[in-house]
């Protein structure tokens, strides 16, 4: 088995986290996959995978090799495509991740359009309200809401989103509308622990600079959908991202309050691991997603 084939086998095992699943993906027998990995580790003189009866995970050396192997394979595929003149025809498997509700509302329509446009592609999408690690979890493309830490990831800013305080008209009619940050102490707070937004301190902007308010929620839920439902049921005040309640605001079922105290909009980025030799499937999907998100989100500075 040549070096490129060995890399492809290793990538499949690392991404599928198992030999049998990788064998199915590659249309190989499990013993052939096992032999290929053993030969690769023997040639390199290092263990790339930790194996137990329950899982297969990359070692520290394996994680570095996985990143390099993906890059090498992507560059080879890009070179093949350029020579063959098929740069505009993506093919193969793509893995995508995004926050749960954002993925449902904004990313899923792009995935469907992409798959309809390119019949030789497949997409696996994971929508979760936590920060995923593209390298460790094998994702090609991700969407991040919030400031990005320094990393080796490449990022494209596509817009920004407001962090808003909101309540239902029925609740505000019954309990009154808060006029200042301190007024929130007299109201029932609904807090979602989804992602990084479930912090016990809410940040506001004032004339004197940022201010953090320690909240004491009467209701804490694990999803933004549940928080929105509680708000619609006239229970209390919650803090959410504006796209999450856009439909309810348009229908006047939820109202934004304390707008003068909102923190700065949070940036939205598309992140990916591949450079100028990214495969056609990755480049094309990023183009689809960038165009769609910039058309549907508050742009902000790019």
89-161+265-302 shares its CATH topology with 163-261 = yes
How is residue 177 written in tokens? 């509308």
**pTM (predicted TM-score):** 0.69
Q: What's residue 253's pLDDT?
A: 96
- Residue partners of 240: CB distance under 8 A and separation at least 6: 163, 164, 166, 192, 197, 224, 227, 228
Fold classified for 89-161+265-302: D-Maltodextrin-Binding Protein; domain 2 (3.40.190)
pLDDT at 86 over 60: no
Q: Please name the residue ranges forming H helices in the chain.
A: 3-16, 19-26, 30-44, 60-84, 100-102, 108-117, 134-137, 169-175, 224-232, 246-250, 280-296
Length, in residues, of the chain: 302
Looking at the domain that runs over 1-87, which CATH code has it been given?
A: 1.10.10.10
| Domain extents in the chain | 1-87, 89-161+265-302, 163-261
Q: CA 30 to CA 20: how far, in whole Å?
A: 5
pLDDT-derived band at 154, boundaries 50, 70, 90: confident
Q: Are 84 and 222 in contact (CB under 8 A)?
A: no
Nearest to 280 by CA among 106, 85, 28: 85
Q: What percent of the chain has pLDDT over 70?
A: 90
Q: Which residues contact 216 (CB under 8 A, 6 or more apart)?
A: 189
> Which pLDDT value is given to residue 275?
60
Looking at domain 163-261, what is its CATH homologous superfamily? Answer: Periplasmic binding protein-like II (3.40.190.10)
State mean pLDDT over 51-73.
Answer: 87
Q: pLDDT value at position 78?
A: 67
Residue 262 confidence (pLDDT): 92
Burial grade of 211 (CB within 10 A; 0-12, 13-18, 19 or more): middle
């Amino acid at each position: 088995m040549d070096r490129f084939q060995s890399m492809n086998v290793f990538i499949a095992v690392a991404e599928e986290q198992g030999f049998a699943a990788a064998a199915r993906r590659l249309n190989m027998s499990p013993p052939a996959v096992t032999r290929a990995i053993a030969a690769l580790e023997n040639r390199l003189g290092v263990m790339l995978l930790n194996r137990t009866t329950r899982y297969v995970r990359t070692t520290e050396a394996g994680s570095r090799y996985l990143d390099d192997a993906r890059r090498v394979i992507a560059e080879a595929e890009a070179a093949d495509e350029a020579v063959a003149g098929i740069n505009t025809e993506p093919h193969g498997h793509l893995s995508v991740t995004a926050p749960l509700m954002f993925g449902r509302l904004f990313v899923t329509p792009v995935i469907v359009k992409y798959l309809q446009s390119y019949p030789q592609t497949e997409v696996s999408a994971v929508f979760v309200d936590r920060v995923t690690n593209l390298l460790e979890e094998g994702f090609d493309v991700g969407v991040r809401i919030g400031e990005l830490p320094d990393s080796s990831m490449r990022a494209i800013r596509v817009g920004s989103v407001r962090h808003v305080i909101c309540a239902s008209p029925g609740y505000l009619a019954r309990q009154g509308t808060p006029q200042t940050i301190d007024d929130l102490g007299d109201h029932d707070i609904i807090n979602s622990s989804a992602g990084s937004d479930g912090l016990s301190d809410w940040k506001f902007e004032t004339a004197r600079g940022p201010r953090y308010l320690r909240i004491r929620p009467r209701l804490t839920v694990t999803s933004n959908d549940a928080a929105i439902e509680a708000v619609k049921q006239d229970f209390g005040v919650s803090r959410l991202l504006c796209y999450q309640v856009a439909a309810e605001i348009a229908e006047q079922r939820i109202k934004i309050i304390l707008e003068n105290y909102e923190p700065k909009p949070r940036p939205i980025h598309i992140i990916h691991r591949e450079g100028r030799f990214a495969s056609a499937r990755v480049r094309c999907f990023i183009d689809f997603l960038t165009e769609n998100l910039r058309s549907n989100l508050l742009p902000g500075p790019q």
